[in-house]
Amino acid sequence: EAGRLKVWRADVTDRELPAGEWSYDGTHLCVGTGGNALRLLEVQAEGSRRMDAGAWANGHRGTLPALRL
């Protein structure tokens, strides 16, 4: 179980992703909203410190779909 991911900073993109779908291209971590996706900029996993979303995603590629925002 991956736990919760708190989003501290995010931008709205012009990219469309289905709600709950994750996308990570090695630089940008995005999550779908059913409309324009959110590009996550700064996140905090349960029991962890705040960090850059791209750096966090590099260590969690296999667990992205299991997360809850």
pTM of the full structure:
0.82
Look at residue 1 in the predicted model and tell me its pLDDT.
47
Q: How far apart are CA 40 and CA 21, in angstroms?
A: 13
pLDDT (mean) for 61-69: 62
pLDDT, tens digit (0-9, with 9 covering 90-100), for 20-63: 888 888 888 999 998 899 999 999 988 889 999 988 888 877 66
Look at residue 69 in the predicted model and tell me its pLDDT.
56
Q: How far apart are CA 20 and CA 31, in angstroms?
A: 6
Using alpha carbons, select from 48, 31, 32, 42 the residue that is nearest to residue 7. 42
Q: Give ∠ CA 6-9-14 in degrees, rounded to 5.
A: 115
Look at residue 65 in the predicted model and tell me its pLDDT.
60
